[in-house]
Structure 1
Amino acid sequence: MPVDTSARAAQPSYVVLPQQSVHPETVLAFLIGHFTQIPASVWHERVDLGKVHWADGELVTPTTAYRPATRVYYYREVAVETKIPFQQKVLHQDDHCILVFKPHFLPVTPSGNFVNECLIHRLRIATGIDTISPAHRLDRPTAGVMLMTVNPETRHAYHELFTTDSIKKQYQAIARLTPDLLSKFQAGTLDLPVNWTVKNRMVRSTPSFLMKIAEGEANTHSEISLIAVKGDKGLFELSPITGKMHQLRVHMMSLGMPLENDTNYPVLAEKSADNFDKPLRLIAKSLTFVDPICKIQRQASCEGYDAEFINSSIL
């Protein structure tokens, strides 16, 4: 039997075997044909190691017959999983939701090279609650406050806070000023705050995990304010009115001030290991909303970048 040296996800994924007249003879043959991005040798090894099973826990073997309209469970895994050296912090917890600080670099859910090093898995281990699920999205490079749901029966109520714009999201960011803003600051003629309303159309770029601004009707809206200056850098407050992927990063780039340590914009950096000393300078500082279950006003916040600008003569 092969030796298992990979990192395996704690929670299984599943695929439903299609109901069709022509199908492979075995489950293993289906998996190999369906997941073409995974080498056949990997599926053979997973089956040999007991990592593929039916809903009742019965293991799938190399000769297990195909069963139409049945779920087959398997585990995502990677050869080496990067450990994220930063910790999350629970800010509030009840029977329906958890407000938590997510550190930079930690993904919310399993993705890419991460199967167990993600916020969901860490929280499930820490609380013993397997039903924890994110109510919204926060990019892996971004730190900040996140709303997680606990009870599947009330999960939809928290999702609706975002779909109905019933929750206020406040971010902070650091970016190098444009030459015009910097010259005004140095001349003592920059009046703070400086405010921008940014509305444009954002679409998928190439590669597909990037976004770009395109012609057409606006589908994004952010309110951005420069509130402090220190040296040639500015401290910004950002409120995303809409919630497109990478919206704040692209909007800051469109103002000529891409975020400090952004490896995606304006130029995609070569793929490399995370530099934990240079996190993206973007943080989801606070969430404010009326709890849809108990009707209590909730506000959760984390430390932003204010302290770095305390000694600025402008702040």
Structure 2
Amino acid sequence: MARFIRKGHQAEANAFVPLPLRGGVAPSYLWITEDRPGGMLAFLEGRFAGVGGPSWIERLARGDVVDAKGNVLQPDSPVRQGMRIWYYRELDEETPIPFEETILFRDEHLVVVDKPHFVPMIPTGRFLRESLLVRLKGRLDLPHLTPIHRLDRETAGVVIFSHNLATRGIYQSMFQKRSIRKVYEALARPLPGRSYPFTYRSRMVDGDKFFVMREEAGAPNSETLVELLEQRGDVARYRLHPHTGRKHQLRLHMASMGAPILNDAFYPVALPCKGDDFSAPLQLLARAIGFDDPLTGAPRSFASQRTLDWPAPD
């Protein structure tokens, strides 16, 4: 069986890219580390069983599968050790997400975006052109655009992208050094008996299901400062300051305290997938990001223009 290493998309490659950005979609590439008999079409059919032969025949005929030098590959082209092949990821059907992002800031290094709920950050699973990265690449024509941090698909708010390869690492290091000031807001049930502000700490580890986290006994590795902003009946609005950046940290912390964020389909219990139901967005918003620019030293601050949806009174 052929072994291979698959890399992501154009912005992650440092070498020559033989296929252009197309409608915001960057080409993917695949390293081949072992000879494979039967030709390129047979290899692609075996590697991408869910795509199907007719689709690969059409892509090969269009010239959408090439080698590292840009040579168009044919169905009978040999599959050799050391090859790198380039191709476009395609989806036959993709449900449009009826919410649009807002550009908050752009300079020669960064693009700061106000992300809507339900839009995934990068192509994954059943999302390609509806991912925020592909939308922005098509809209701004920035082939090297890539997020320097992430938000969950379900979370809205401020997120930062880099489009300058020379300075990307400098800005990414801010998150590694935790020199970024991040503020979130969330709607959840009240927490009676609490004095605000307070800090919640726990040890977070991977859950039994790959897409969720859980807490266990042991030294804390996650920390969130919680403030109460207001309360309306059975719902409260919180300001959350994550001092660490664990996956789903705010969602798990709020659920563990007995106040799961409204409309959270993962915590405290993972519910069946809602598919393309956009009627109940998670009430979690990345309200603001602030930092001292590592290139100029100037303070930077960006705030979301979005609001959370208070439930209608009974």
Which residue number corresponds to residue 173 of structure 1? 186
Which residue number corresponds to residue 24 of structure 1? 37
CA distance in 1, matches of 2:177, 2:233: 40
Report deviation, 1:87: 1.2
Report deviation, 1:8: 8.9
User: Which of 106, 115, 118 is residue 128 of structure 2 equivalent to?
Assistant: 115
Report deviation, 1:107: 1.0
User: Which of 83, 87, 91 is residue 100 of structure 2 equivalent to?
Assistant: 87
CA distance in 1, matches of 2:235, 2:50: 44
Deviations 1:58-89 (A, max 9, x none): 32222111132121012222221121111111
State the one-letter code of the partner of 1:263. Answer: A
1:254 aligns with 2:263: no
Deviations 1:125-171 (A, max 9, x none): 22221111101011111000011111011000110010001110000
Secondary structure of residue in 1 paired with 2:125? coil
CA distance in 2, matches of 1:306, 1:50: 47
Which residue number corresponds to residue 210 of structure 2? 208
Report deviation, 1:308: 5.5
CA distance in 2, matches of 1:43, 1:9: 21
Structure number with greater Rg is: 1
Contact in 2 for aligned 1:172/1:305 (Cα 8 Å): no
Distance of aligned partners of 1:114 and 1:294 in 2 relative to their CA distance in 1, 3 Å threshold:
same
Report deviation, 1:40: 5.7
CA RMSD of aligned residues (A): 2.5
Secondary structure of residue in 1 paired with 2:244? coil
Distance of aligned partners of 1:284 and 1:37 in 2 relative to their CA distance in 1, 3 Å threshold:
same
Report deviation, 1:113: 1.1
Distance of aligned partners of 1:254 and 1:208 in 2 relative to their CA distance in 1, 3 Å threshold:
same
Distance of aligned partners of 1:197 and 1:40 in 2 relative to their CA distance in 1, 3 Å threshold:
farther
Pairs within 5 Å for 1:250-289? 250-289=252-291
State the one-letter code of the partner of 1:110. Answer: P
User: Which of 25, 39, 45 is residue 10 of structure 1 equivalent to?
Assistant: 25
Contact in 2 for aligned 1:9/1:76 (Cα 8 Å): no
Which residue number corresponds to residue 3 of structure 1? none
Pairs within 5 Å for 1:60-99? 60-99=73-112
Which residue number corresponds to residue 312 of structure 1? none
Contact in 2 for aligned 1:8/1:76 (Cα 8 Å): no
Distance of aligned partners of 1:9 and 1:27 in 2 relative to their CA distance in 1, 3 Å threshold:
farther
State the one-letter code of the partner of 2:32. Answer: L
Deviations 1:88-131 (A, max 9, x none): 11111110111111111111111111111121122222222111
Report deviation, 1:35: 4.4
1:151 aligns with 2:171: no
Secondary structure of residue in 1 paired with 2:197? strand
Contact in 1 for aligned 2:205/2:213 (Cα 8 Å): yes
Consecutive unaligned residues in structure 2, runs of 5 or more:
1-21
TM-score, normalised to structure 2, is 0.84
Which shifted more, 117-126 or 45-54? 45-54
User: Which of 87, 103, 107 is residue 116 of structure 2 equivalent to?
Assistant: 103
Report deviation, 1:232: 0.3
Contact in 2 for aligned 1:172/1:284 (Cα 8 Å): yes
Consecutive unaligned residues in structure 1, runs of 5 or more:
1-6, 185-189, 310-315
Identity of aligned residues (%): 37
Report deviation, 1:50: 4.1
Report deviation, 1:227: 2.0
CA distance in 1, matches of 2:246, 2:52: 34
State the one-letter code of the partner of 2:207. Answer: S
Which shifted more, 69-78 or 248-257? 69-78
Deviations 1:188-224 (A, max 9, x none): xx8xx62331211212213201111123222211111
State the one-letter code of the partner of 2:26. Answer: Q
TM-score, normalised to structure 1, is 0.84
Contact in 2 for aligned 1:53/1:73 (Cα 8 Å): yes
Report deviation, 1:266: 1.4
